[in-house]
Amino acid sequence: MVKDIVYTVRVEFGDCDPARIVWFPNFFRWMDAASRHFFVECGVPPWHETEKTLGVIGTPIVDTHARFVKTASYGDMLELHTSIAEWRGKSFVQRYRVMRAADLILECDEVRIFAARKPGDERGIRAVEIPPEIRRLCE
């Protein structure tokens, strides 16, 4: 049994495009929030704290594959079911199922890493081994 954590989104007028449906980049915005929300709900501290304790500044994405099943529009309430489908050495697969009541709107698998700053490189980042204390909280 993996942890499945729900993040709720109200779709707003401004999230929709001239075709009157959600403009799809907004789904990635919401999934990114659901990703962080997953860690927060599991008890992982905010990244500005883990930066000091573990060097971890966040979980940047390296791969994402989304399948859009139904459209959504403003007034809809969406539930983003978020879980970790797989742990790898330096990466993990975060899985989302975006539901409107019983309707599947979107499903998505992301590969993310735990990132630290590159020493001596203001903007560079590198993958670190998955911190066992974080993994333990999320399982």
Catalytic member of 4, 17, 63, 103 = 17
Kindly state the smallest distance separating residue 1's Cβ from a second copy, in Å: 27
| Identity at 91, one-letter amino acid code | S
Kindly state the smallest distance separating residue 43's Cβ from a second copy, in Å: 14
Q: Report the residue number, 1 or 104, with the smaller CB distance to a second copy.
A: 104
Q: Report the residue number, 43 or 124, with the smaller CB distance to a second copy.
A: 124
Q: What's the CA gap between 29 and 75, in Å, rounded? A: 18
Catalytic residue status for 15: no
Per-position b or e across 105-136, b if 16+ CB within 10 A of its CB: bbbbebebbbbbeeeeeeeeeeeeebbeebbe
Q: Which tokens in the block code for residue 94?
A: 């975060």
Q: Report the residue number, 1 or 102, with the smaller CB distance to a second copy.
A: 102
Kindly state the smallest distance separating residue 109's Cβ from a second copy, in Å: 10
Residues that bind a second copy (CB under 8 A): 10, 12-14, 16-21, 23-26, 28-29, 32-33, 36, 40, 46-48, 57-58, 60-68, 71, 73-75, 115, 122-125
Return the DSSP state at 132.
H
Paired sense of beta strands 5-10 and 77-87, if any: antiparallel
Which residues does the annotation mark as catalytic?
17
